[in-house]
Structure 1
Amino acid sequence: MLDLDAPVSGDLARLAEAYRVSTTFEDWRGDEVTVLTRTVVAVLDALGVRLEVEDDIAVELERVRLAPWRRLLPDVVVTVQGEKDDVAVHVGQDAADDVRVWLELETGGHTDVTRGEPQASEELEGATVVRVPFTPPADLPLGWHRLCARVGDGELVERPYVVTPARLEPPAPGHPSWGFMTQLYSVRSQASWGLGDLGDLGDLAWWSAAELGADFVLVNPLHAAEPIAPMEPSPYLPTTRRFFNPVYLRVEDIREVAYLPSTDRAVIEWQAEAVRPLNADPALLDRDEVWAAKLVALEAVFEQPRSSVREREFQAYKAREGQGLLDFATWCTLAERYGLPTTRWPRSLLDARGAEIESLRGELAGRVEFHCWLQWCLDQQLEEAARRAAAGGMRLGVVHDLAVGVHPDGADAWGLGPALATGVTVGAPPDAFNQQGQDWSQPPWRPDGLSASGYAPFRDMLRTVLRHAGGLRVDHIIGLFRLWWVPQGAHPSQGTYVYYDHEAMLGILALEAHRAGAVVIGEDLGNVEPWAREYLTSRGILGTSILWFERDYEAGKPKPPQDWRELSLASVTTHDLPPTAGYLTGEHIELRDRLGLLTRSVAEEREVDEAERRSVRHQLEDLGLLVREGGPTEREQVEALHRFLTLTPARLIGVSLADAVGERRAMNQPGTSDEYPNWRLPLADGSGRPVLLEEIVTSPRVRDLAKAVRPEDSR
């Protein structure tokens, strides 16, 4: 039997390496930790490798070694434009002269591939298999091509061959572009139905561009949540990352509303009147109440006939999104009928490709169509928000946010099958800010599942999110290099890293962003190796620089502005920290102490924090951004911190809208769920009074903070 409590060693370590499962890692204090056998066995199990006794290890080692020799072509090839890479073709020695390989180009036509001499051989079940290198041309166009092979008159084998850009074009140098960063649901107007919506996004984008000179607005992930109550409040725990949450629809902006009969129009007005008073309510946001009202209204609009052209547009949208949209709409329909979690569903409905699903889809076709229609409406309103941003003069426009993963009981977990792992969740090891570690309860991508699918689920997700985006922020972008897998039931500290083909994943991300004309910002905070940041920079992907974290830790002082990264989005704070007004008073320490998230004493934590904030204040004074005499006001400190950002070479500057209105409360406290009202706070001033969009556009405080990052002569 395996000693599950022993550190990993020997053949098990070699097997883990073959599956890119880490057996050691460096913790946040710089110490090397060896992973326990029980963790590695559980992670390998999630990758389809079952180990019950010691002898199983040798069997699995041989299986993984021979796997490439059993395939004529690799599952997928992702390369960089301009580079020559050989493709390994494995074929029986007797048929080596009969194998032909070519490329079918995405835009049409084909090109032959240069054949090399066999390089190696392997005995496989009594036959000799040889490895023959084929070299495609280096000057292939960007895109998703098809690598084709045929042995004699045998079956045609096709695999994706993806040519990606060597580097994305980052924002132009010079005076940095700036924009607001906000949680859209919290930004309400008098026209909102209790939550900020896509109409509010369009207004915020146009106004901040036309009157304040903003070049982008960065919003939280708009991914879809559950279609029934209770709706998950965290935008970072969606049911799918490919499609959007219809709670963000501005009902009145759907074209068919204008043609509704008066009785149906009254239904919409009644629903709006029921929830509009929530806009001025300082209480926690109630997504369930808002969605219940919108759902009734949207069902009424859906029943209104569409013009023949509008119907053709809808059908074209469905054809473009294909099976993925149909699966998502089916899952929503099943969730409405049977509830959640999916353990309530008949077992036959848990297989998204099962015969029972196809039968039920026909029975519930009208409701499935309704959920497809909601996504079409969202697509149109996202397009309109992007158009308004451009009309206001934004150079980038709306920057969307891509969450790390999805809900374990959501639409993607149901519909993507082997692309996602089961029995493990994504998290983070202990670090200085979250000293207990984190379990985000999300199923990770399976590296082998992504490869077997030709990265199609990843590509399709990116295409949908990027369609109307000027940029994409990728939360925890190190997750495209490696993710911390936590076996179910284990403490977050008892996980290990699983590594991905980052060149393939970042290449595909760069290709889809290039096609969309979008910039990519990687949230690369925390424990990120320097080489990973260097690789991101080499591909034109921006990093994230937070003022409080930009320190020279050896010297014990903040980095001077000239030492900040150029290719980055620089900001004072982020949604995982309190707004600056709250951070300046150390409120985050008291909060984490109350929630039991500290491993050091409050006194020690406060001493370290106060010393760091004091060193930042002295830096601002030395640069002439704050006066030493007297006590600067909170507002003066917030503005000085933002003026500091303009002294750095960062290409983008992000200004939290919460900072602009004087909010003090953290929108999210990492490491908590029900202990803190994460993602449920309305945008408010320092006293907790809700601030609506109409007040924001006339606020001197907001304008002064915008002026701090945008000199008058910058345009």
Structure 2
Amino acid sequence: MSEALDRAARAAGVVLERPGEDAAPVSDAAKRALVDILGTPPALPPSTGATAFVPDWLDETRAFGVALQLYQLRSERNLGIGDLGDLKALIPVFAQTGCDFIGLNPLHALFTAAPENASPFSPSDRRRLNPLIIAVDEVPGYHPYMAEMVSVPPAEDEVDYSAVASAKLTILKKIHQAWRSGDPLVGEADRDAAARHAARKGEEAAGFALFEALSHHMAAQGHGAGWMGWPAAYQDRASPQVLAFAAAHRDEIAFHLWLQYIAETQLAATQAACLAAGMRIGLYLDLAVGEAPDGASTWADPSLALRGLRIGCPPDLFSLDGQDWGLAPLSPSALVDRDFAPYRAVMDAVMADAGAMRIDHAMGLERLWLIPDGLTAREGAYVRQPGLTDQVVNATRTHRAMAIGEDLGIVPPGFRERMADRRLFSMRIVSFERDAHGMRPPARYPADALACLSTHDIAPLEAWWQGDEIDLRLALGRIDAGVARHEHAWRTGEKAAMLAEAGLPPSRAAGALDDGIVAAFHRLGARTASRLYAVRLEDVVGGRRLVNLPGTDREHPNWRRTLPLTVADIGRSARFQRTMAAVGAVRRGFHDRRHLPSSIP
């Protein structure tokens, strides 16, 4: 029975052998559940082996950019959350330093009827945009009196998503009424463009707008924003009750469709502004690994997602019990049967207005850790994801946009080499890069990679220096006092090693993090041989608030903390100016030498 079950599991795509990974065996319970749900995937045509798009100029030089969380931006003009208007105000500031790209958190549509579900990595639909990114005061038909209609929440420390959504949607509904009523503040060209957008986007976009309208209706009745909590008749996209709702709520559906037009138009304008300012890549947008199981995508197309399985990751040094992300995986069989059209639609949506795309959990291009219902994250198993790498490569060539894979965590043997063969860039965090002799020298970083000091899942530099995330995990009971002491001691060693590699006395690890150390650390990152280097905005404006503490939800205010400086103050920050000048000087040094040096001082 066990041999027959193993054969069936392998045929279904379950990875039973993980040589070199010291992995626990897959339980029979997991095998049976996965076989029952997955079936046997159809055969794939052979891979073309094509390489991803990389701009020619990047083979001759090195580039750098800034990475930030859009919602964190603070300004006098926004409505309590960073928006595309704030970002456009920063484009000339960044461009003047020599930046070639701006990296953002995922901008996918979430649930406007449940705004406190704020994680950008748990989207309702990856093909649509989050309306909260809209700069309301830049929408044709806006009048300043509209801002007086709402209460604007303060955002000195955190985003109040419920208050923000209420304020922004109230004003946007007022503007939409002006569009529909023939208000002269809205030109006919704008109205015509919105109508063409609705016609071009077709039934899929209309279905998303219907979901959003129904989601608000159901949440108001106490059923929740996600469709799994709705009455059974409304869980079926084609039911008579849903069709009757659509007929009775045309204006609300039109509003949510219009929001997508405004968001897409403003995002395209932001990318155009980046390029006009001299950035050679522009926006670097993020692709989440999956979607919420009760969101618009799974409601509209339930056969595409695998029911009874959740995406997560196995146990590792940072999560001894593994992680359950609660995301719905796409069906490998359904993707093959549909010639990957649904997956291409997701990538088209992300790359349409970007020069680069970051793929969250890039190992998911080859395998995903899937957890059957009733089992824990520890009891999941890897399932192969055939054909996705080819689709990403083809999409980069279609859109002439690069792809950077977030290959952090448990990386299967040979995965990074296979990425490199296809010119899918790797991500390298400087403090993580070590070999048998200590920290990896800058000259030994891979060329096709993006180097950085930290990401949204890692403490900002100021907090890292103090060990804030260690203390937070101790306070939440995730580690005990002994582990915390060990991690603080290890952090002291990390700081000393970074200081030495950056050319500073290791003894400074006992002192405060000053502007000189910040600049030196970023100069070290900029010296790497990797073609791209990202400066995390929080690291250079004194941010000490953790964006996300992996493995937590509401225990920590994930995806809510704002920056300590306003948009107007960022460019005037001495730390920002000094660090960006240091990074720019190093990166320009690669270009000036017109070759790929083994190292650069």
Residue matched to 2:37 = 46
C-alpha change, 1:230 and 1:217, in structure 2 (3 Å) is closer
Structure 2 equivalent of residue 551 of structure 1: 434
2:169 to 295, 312, 315: 295
In structure 2, what is the Cα distance between the partners aligned to 1:434 and 1:379? 37
Match among 533, 540, 564 for residue 653 of structure 1: 533
Residue 326 of structure 1 aligns with which residue? 206
Selected match of 1:31 from 22, 36, 42: 22
How far apart, in 2, do the equivalents of 1:581 and 1:451 lie? 46
What is the distance in 2 between the residues matched to 1:588 and 1:548? 16
Moved more, 186-195 or 410-419: 410-419
Structure 2 counterpart of 1:445: 330
Name the residue aligned to 1:157. none
Task: Give 1:198's match in structure 2, choosing from 78, 84, 100.
Answer: 84
The residue aligned with 1:160 is none
Give, in angstroms, the shift of residue 316 of structure 1: 2.1
In the alignment, structure 1 residue 611 sits paired with structure 2 residue 493: yes
Q: Give the counterpart of 1:19 among 12, 16, 31.
A: 12
- Cα distance in 1 for partners of 2:149, 2:17 equals 56
Residue 534 of structure 2: SS of its match in structure 1? strand
Shift of 1:416: 2.5
Post-superposition Cα deviations, 1:666-701, rounded to whole Å, max 9, x if no partner, equal 1111011111111111112xxxxxx11001021121
When you count helix as a share of all residues, which structure comes out higher? Answer: 2
1:586 matched to 2:467: yes
Q: Does 1:433 align with 2:314?
A: no
The CA distance in 1 between the partners of 2:492 and 2:165, in whole Å, is 43
1:572 is displaced (CA, Å) by 0.7
Q: Which digits, 9 at most, give the CA deviation of each residue in 1:199-254, with x for residues without a partner?
A: 11112223211x21111110100111112134311111111111111111111111
Greater alpha carbon shift after TM alignment, 401-410 vs 584-593: 584-593
Residue ranges of structure 2 left out of the alignment (5+ in a row): 592-601
- Contact map agreement 2:122 2:288 (CA 8 A) in 1: yes
Aligned 8 A contact 2:52 2:396 in 1? no
Whether 2:427 is the aligned partner of 1:534: answer no
- 1:93-492 aligned within 5 A: 165-170=50-55, 172-209=58-95, 211-257=96-142, 266=145, 268-271=146-149, 274-275=151-152, 278-279=154-155, 281-282=156-157, 284-304=158-178, 305=182, 307-339=187-219, 340=224, 341-492=226-377
CA change 1:319–1:644 in 2 (3 A) is same
Would the aligned equivalents of 1:586 and 1:610 in 2 still touch at CA under 8 Å? no
**AA of the residue aligned to 1:603:** R
Shift of 1:387: 1.4
Greater RCO between the two (CA within 8 Å, min separation 6)?
2
Over residues 440-493 of structure 1, what are the superposed CA-to-partner deviations in whole Å (9 max), with x where a residue is unaligned? 011111111211222121111111111111111111011111111112232211
SS at match of 2:92: helix
Who is 1:152 aligned against? none
Letter of the structure 2 residue corresponding to residue 513 of structure 1: T
- Residue 655 of structure 1: CA displacement? 0.6
| CA RMSD of superposed structures (Å) | 2.3
CA shift, 1:702, in A, is 0.7
Q: Deviations over 1:617-645 (max 9, x none)?
A: 3323xxxx314676775122222111112
Aligned to 2:583: 709
| In 2, Cα distance between equivalents of 1:166 and 1:652 | 18
Distance between the aligned counterparts of 2:533 and 2:140, measured in 1? 36
Identity rate of aligned residues, in percent? 31
- Aligned equivalents of 1:679, 1:523: Cα separation in 2: 19
TM-score scaled by structure 1? Answer: 0.76
Deviations 1:499-532 (A, max 9, x none): 111xx21222222222222111110111112422
Indicate yes or no: 2:579 matched with 1:700.
no
SS at match of 2:108: coil
Give the distance between the partners of 1:359 and 1:665, measured in 2 at CA: 47
SS of residue in 1 equivalent to 2:257: helix
Match of 1:60?
none
Q: Residue by residue, what CA displacement relative to the aligned partner does 1:273-297 show, whole Å, maximum 9, x if unpaired? A: x21x614x33x21011011011111
Q: Provide closer, same or farther for how the CA distance between residues 629 and 604 of structure 1 changes in structure 2, counting only shifts above 3 A.
A: closer
Work out the CA distance in 1 between the residues paired with 2:277 and 2:500: 38
Any conservation in 1 of the 2:499–2:505 contact (CA below 8 Å)? no
Partner of 1:521: 404
Deviation of 1:174 after TM superposition, in Å, equals 4.4
Partner of 1:154: none
Aligned partner of 2:521 in structure 1 is: 641
Equivalent residue pairs, number: 574
Per-residue deviation at 1:646? 2.3
What is the distance in 2 between the residues matched to 1:405 and 1:10? 32
Question: Residue 207 of structure 1 contacts residue 392 of structure 1 at CA under 8 Å; is this kept in 2?
Answer: no
Relative to structure 1, the CA distance from residue 391 to residue 590 in structure 2 (aligned partners, 3 Å threshold; closer, same or farther) is same
Partner of 2:556: 676
Deviation larger for 298-307 or 388-397: 298-307
SS at match of 1:190: coil
For 1:187 and 1:597, how far apart are their aligned partners in 2? 30
Q: How many Å separate the matches in 1 of 2:301 and 2:216?
A: 20
AA paired with 1:451? V
Letter in 1 for 2:400: G
For 1:522, the aligned partner's letter is G
Correspondence 1:566 to 2:447: yes
| Cα separation, 2, equivalents of 1:288 and 1:675 | 18
Partner of 1:626: 504
Give yes or no for the alignment of 1:493 onto 2:371.
no
